Structure 1
Amino acid sequence: MEKTFVLDTNVLLHDPMAINAFHEHRVVIPMTVLEELDHIKDRRDKDVSREARIAINAIDKLLANATPKQIQDGVEIPTTREDAKPGLLAIFPDQIITHDNAAPYLDGSTQQANDNRIINVALHLQSHRPENYVCLVTKDINMRLKAKGSGLENVEDYRRDRVLDDIQYMAKGYDHISGSFWDKVDTVETLREGSQTIHVINRSCLPKAHINQFIQDDSGFVGMVRSLDEEKIELLDLPPELLMHQSMWGLQPRNMEQAMAFFLISRPEIDLSVLTGPAGSGKTLIALAYGLHAILEQRRFDKLIVARSTPPIAEDIGFLPGTEEEKMAPWLAAFDDNLEVLHGTDESPFGSIEYVKDKANIQFKSLNFMRGRSFNNAYIVIDEAQGLTQFQLKSIITRVGSNSKIVVLGNLAQIDNKYINPLTSGLTYLVEKSKYFPHAGIMHVNGIERSRLAAFAEENL
């Protein structure tokens, strides 16, 4: 059966290369989608406009040398899979659709939403090709409901960006073993490397383990996967009292998850750290404390760059007065709050904070203006990453230069992007893809340490 997928605009904005995701099948882009991309490519929102331009260029690259008839019939999409039939990309001129046949069209007039005209394309193809599988692909929930209510048999969300079927299976960076871990181990070889104790066990004891993952049990054992292959796993023995007595810039962990995050983020071989967890769990405070420690005490980096995405259009930072750092202040106030926590007991807290900002060369940046740059000898913190797409996070991480470390923070319970959910967030994608990279570390920080009220709100409201 030939399958035809009609793409909505938000699919191409979410993944500008989505036309390559449907393999040997037929991909149809309604003319209305091209018109929407044309309007979006000039928006002030740098992220969305950039992705619109990338999508337009990808479409143009495939169709540039085709005739009008070929474009409407379908042009081959090159494939890298061996022995795979190439797919087809077609543009459908939805302005030719009329209401003079039996298809249950929605009102496609200019006074109505563009969504109606895109749905009408799928209804038209379903009516004229009843033997084929015709499916509308959109990330808009209400549009999916409208399409189904109009009689469209097949409507789907865009699923290529899903790396998990259920968010509960996302890697947390640690595995808690009930009872005693050693009761489940048949053979072990224990080695000493200086002050470190290494346990070598069979891979079958922890078949799902990944590099830099912590193992914790009820009897007090804590270990970290230092290396692994198909047969063996090396566990670095980490006494709990050693982890709980770590200190960075005067900050000490309050629970074991924070202690493991402390240890992970401070390891020199880790270039990428991803800290997830609820609000108030200490993610930002840990990231900031280590940054100040590494720059001012260890002299590992030259600067601390703090960045997050800013709301578009009406709240664009270009409308605010001052330098880029001053424009970013309203959205990065959380870092000032954490600096106050670290220096709140100083004799002159305000003076200490200003001194630290200057000496550590702390720079506040908008993610909208980080692309195209390269950051060397820098410690970079990306805050509120849960609202970023996979494409956006990739474009940011590829900016990291030599002798730099990047820490990505996020809370999947606070996504404010209407086209992103915990399963499709770039943060989830980053966690699942980086857990096998030897120079990446993941930690889900549990426990609300902000206040008892914050803990109550997180759990009950």
Structure 2
Amino acid sequence: MRKNYVLDANVLLHDPHAIFKFEDNDLIIPIYAIEEIDQFKREGSERGRNARTIARLLDGLRSPSNQLSVGVPLERGGTLRIAIPQRRPNALVGLDSKSQDLAILQVAIDVRDKDKDKPTIFVTMDTNLRIRADALGVTSETYESEAAPDPENELSVLEVEVPGSDVDLFFQHGFVAAPHRTVLHPNVGVLLRDEASAAHTALGRFDASKGQVVALRTPRDGVMGVRPRNKEQAYALDLLLDDEIRLVTLIGKAGTGKTLLALAAGLRRTVEDGVYSRLLVSRPVMPLGRDLGFLPGDVDEKLNPWMQPIYDNLEFLFSSGAARGKGTEARGFVQLLESGVVQVEPLTYIRGRSLPHQYLIVDEAQNLTPHEVKTIITRAGEGTKIILTGDPHQIDNPYVDHASNGLSVVADRFKQEAIAGHVVLAKGERSELAELAANLL
């Protein structure tokens, strides 16, 4: 059945192309939503870019024969119009009379009352406004076009029961044919378990091009002195060290080793093996709690508090005796930073850059929007490998959630691609206290 969808301003600020994603239904944008969007058009942020984009898209739909006030046809069979209520509402229960939310919600009520032949649905990403709409008898939904399944609900290492002979063959040859009765994504971790003996197991990775489960190539002595402590970490190191895998997403709660494993593998492939010209580590500038405001000093001094977690991990790899590789003992991470082989910087100025032959780690990627992650990944030049790490349940960005953040969306969209791998690190290894805190709190 054809429906009326009334869109709130936050939907268009989140995704300007949302107007093309409602199939053959009729879209109504309140004029007050346009007023609200207009306030952000001068911002240099993504919200400002989206405000300018939706303005251009709506302007492009106008023509002498198509007026937005009457309704213009859309490619997929629906229509779009900008609605102005007959009167500016004075008051609705639970809403201030001067509120733009009140005016936008009044449009949804007017559409519902005027067109009773079609269901009217109010679409907003404002949770409180959905509650208010429901209380006033207006059907309301959130916008979920870019929402992805919770990546933590998918196991990165699948357990498959096979005959004991298959496990023996795997240890002899380093590979075995993939089980026919199991559907496997490219590069998924596979734990082969003997049907007769549960303790007889082998850990590998599914190679889609060969149709085989192949052995992990994680060094026995670890990487930069860091050894995997569970099967997920072993699988993660294998993906991080494989140059054929160009995009790796590491998801897990605090203390699971996401950043440490990524840095150790990046140092190994950049400093020791020389495969990449530079290790570039970055993270979004997003405060936890109340912001401290302006910081004194030059760029490096201003960024130091934001990048300190990365410096902590680098210092651990070098100064704690963990790094015992070729030449890394004598060259501390400070020397590597000064030489430019290792570079730590924010994501603020990445737009427009081209990054060839680099090992790029983006920490705390759960605070990025899908558009921002797209901007980062499209910077990758020839021979560049990108690692995204984060915890979708520790988000400081108020405009994304565990399903709509860039990290979750990338993990979902790339799971069928042969050049991408995804790992969910479940067990915390930082300390017993950190693991208890992550579980109990």
In structure 1, what is the Cα distance between the partners aligned to 2:331 and 2:151? Answer: 44
Tell me, yes or no, if the aligned pair for 1:75 and 1:89 is still in contact at 8 Å: yes
The 5-angstrom pairing of residues 27-46 of structure 1 reads: 27-43=27-43, 46=45
Tell me, yes or no, if the aligned pair for 1:13 and 1:52 is still in contact at 8 Å: yes
**2:145 aligns to what?**
160
In structure 1, what is the Cα distance between the partners aligned to 2:297 and 2:276? Answer: 27
Q: 1:236 aligns with which of 207, 214, 220?
A: 214
Deviation per CA, 1:170-193: give whole Å up to 9, x if none: 3x432134xxx21399x999699x
In structure 2, what is the Cα distance between the partners aligned to 1:59 and 1:460? Answer: 49
State the 1:294 CA deviation. 1.4
State the 1:215 CA deviation. 0.7
State the 1:388 CA deviation. 2.0
SS of residue paired to 2:208: strand
SS of residue paired to 1:73: coil
Structure 2: 5+ residue stretches without partners: none
**1:60 aligns to what?**
59
**2:158 aligns to what?**
175
**1:6 aligns to what?**
6
Letter in 2 for 1:124: D
Change (3 A) 1:190 1:345: closer
Q: 1:133 aligns with which of 119, 125, 129?
A: 119
**2:16 aligns to what?**
16
SS of residue paired to 2:276: coil
Asked if 1:199 is matched to 2:176, the reply is yes
Tell me, yes or no, if the aligned pair for 2:354 and 2:381 is still in contact at 8 Å: yes
Change (3 A) 1:147 1:41: same
Change (3 A) 1:381 1:66: farther
Deviation per CA, 1:197-248: give whole Å up to 9, x if none: 22124532x12x11111111453211210125xxx8311134xxx7472422
Letter in 2 for 1:309: P
The 5-angstrom pairing of residues 272-283 of structure 1 reads: 272-283=247-258
The 5-angstrom pairing of residues 333-372 of structure 1 reads: 333-345=308-320, 352-359=332-339, 361-372=341-352
Letter in 2 for 1:89: L
SS of residue paired to 1:265: helix
In structure 1, what is the Cα distance between the partners aligned to 2:92 and 2:304? Answer: 52
Q: 1:436 aligns with which of 401, 416, 437?
A: 416
Tell me, yes or no, if the aligned pair for 2:2 and 2:24 is still in contact at 8 Å: no
In structure 1, what is the Cα distance between the partners aligned to 2:54 and 2:89? Answer: 31
State the 1:73 CA deviation. 1.8
SS of residue paired to 1:70: coil
In structure 1, what is the Cα distance between the partners aligned to 2:164 and 2:2? Answer: 51
In structure 2, what is the Cα distance between the partners aligned to 1:402 and 1:321? Answer: 38
The 5-angstrom pairing of residues 301-380 of structure 1 reads: 301-311=276-286, 319-345=294-320, 352-359=332-339, 361-380=341-360
Change (3 A) 1:157 1:295: same
Asked if 1:115 is matched to 2:101, the reply is yes
Tell me, yes or no, if the aligned pair for 2:121 and 2:140 is still in contact at 8 Å: yes
Letter in 2 for 1:131: D
Normalised by the size of structure 2, how large is the TM-score?
Answer: 0.88
SS of residue paired to 2:174: strand
State the 1:113 CA deviation. 2.5
Change (3 A) 1:244 1:294: closer
In structure 1, what is the Cα distance between the partners aligned to 2:413 and 2:43? Answer: 31
State the 1:150 CA deviation. 1.8
In structure 2, what is the Cα distance between the partners aligned to 1:280 and 1:130? Answer: 54
SS of residue paired to 2:22: coil
Structure 1: 5+ residue stretches without partners: 80-85
Q: How much identity, in percent, do the aligned residues show?
A: 32
In structure 1, what is the Cα distance between the partners aligned to 2:167 and 2:158? Answer: 19
In structure 2, what is the Cα distance between the partners aligned to 1:173 and 1:66? Answer: 55
Deviation per CA, 1:8-44: give whole Å up to 9, x if none: 1221222221111101111111112212222112235
In structure 2, what is the Cα distance between the partners aligned to 1:132 and 1:160? Answer: 22
State the 1:131 CA deviation. 1.7
Normalised by the size of structure 1, how large is the TM-score?
Answer: 0.84
SS of residue paired to 1:414: coil
Deviation per CA, 1:91-112: give whole Å up to 9, x if none: 1124x42459xx9687674xx3
Alpha-carbon RMSD: 3.1
State the 1:440 CA deviation. 0.8
Tell me, yes or no, if the aligned pair for 1:328 and 1:364 is still in contact at 8 Å: no
More helix by share: 1
In structure 2, what is the Cα distance between the partners aligned to 1:29 and 1:316? Answer: 38
Deviation per CA, 1:264-304: give whole Å up to 9, x if none: 11001011111111111111011111111111111122222
SS of residue paired to 1:262: helix
Q: How many residues align?
A: 428
**1:149 aligns to what?**
135
State the 1:370 CA deviation. 1.3
Letter in 2 for 1:221: A
